[in-house]
Amino acid sequence: MRSVLICGGGVAACCAAHLLRRAGIPSIVEKLARPRLPAIMLGQTTQKILEDIFERRDLFEGCHRIQRRVVAWVEGRDPISVPHSAVVLSEQALLDRIELRPAPNIKDVPGEPEWRIITSHSSAGSSAEHHFGGRMAAASPVELAPAASADSCWIESLPSGWLFLLPGGLGRGWLLAVGGPAEPLLAQSRLVVDQLGELGRPSGLFPSHPRITEPLGGPGWLKCGSAALSFDPLCGDGVGHAAREAILGSAVIRSAAQRGDADSLIGHYQARLVAGFRRHLGVCSGYYRAGRRGPWWDEQLQDTLRGLEWTAQRLQAADAPRYRLKGFALETLG
């Protein structure tokens, strides 16, 4: 195989480039500028996936760690505290840990790339994007109250939205407000507001509802990462999904080079991504059903149910699975 051009520069791009180079396939990352998330929380499963991809058990050394999750979700019930194990860092800090150096320039690789992996939404092209909701979110820097636990995070449902408070160390953190500005949501809060000392200016609005592009692949190209799917931050580990998509996408390209059945493999790739998106929507529907307390929640639930119906139709039309992922490679069933 000549080479693979990866359009983007986020987690999916880094994972795909590393896996392809491990397999001896030249990959060139064409970085595209986009805003980086100020803080992300990675659970144990995602940490393990990234450690396996990059073959580094020290990948998250020195990161701020979360040990508990405090939840006030169902109206009229006291908050509950459950054990949690996660690390917190900025998206840029994560990329600094996993980005490959030195990265070849496209001019240094002979011949035209045989495949493209599109990982940035800004380079997604003319594919249709299906939105299941329209809720917006804003992230604001915060100073934590002196009594707030540095190793806990907090999530709370409110009549017209929800709040998520994530400490980042040194008495600081980030507040995610979904459904409306932070101030009016905090005015209704009985949990998160008590953990705050000072609220900073939000970094800007961004969509927080699930989205998927269609198609997700074609002759000589695949989409993964934010170019393919976007998840609700309530219950979607976007970094973990991006890494899994990169694993499957790189496996599809390697398998196509070996077997020559690219069309079937692309169909498998699309079906697996739609199935993963559907699982995410199923989890979302449970949360929005449990937290519902008025028109805003009813609307979010209906949008999520519409997504479940859409994915069911797409999966019903898909071919029966012919491959399965074993480690970082695809094998044929039967």
- Tens of pLDDT along 245-300? 999 999 999 999 988 899 999 999 999 999 999 999 999 999 999 988 899 999 99
Q: Are residues 129 and 225 in the same domain?
A: yes
CA-based R_g, the chain, Å: 21
Question: Has residue 177 got a pLDDT over 60?
Answer: yes
CA angle 25, 94, 105 (to 5 degrees): 35
Q: Are residues 178 and 326 in the same domain?
A: no
Classify residue 128 as exposed, middle or buried by CB count within 10 Å of its CB (0-12, 13-18, 19+). Answer: exposed
User: For position 166, which CATH number holds?
Assistant: 3.30.9.30
Phi-psi region of 133 (alpha: psi -120 to 50; beta: other; left: phi over 0): left
Final residue of a structural domain among 193, 208, 223: 208
- Tens of pLDDT along 209-249? 999 999 999 999 999 999 999 999 998 689 999 999 999 99
Range of the structural domain that residue 293 is part of: 4-38+90-133+209-332
Task: Write down the pLDDT at residue 126.
Answer: 60
Task: Write down the pLDDT at residue 9.
Answer: 87
Do 264 and 158 form a contact (C-beta atoms < 8 A)? no
User: For position 298, which CATH number holds?
Assistant: 3.50.50.60
Final residue of a structural domain among 166, 192, 208: 208
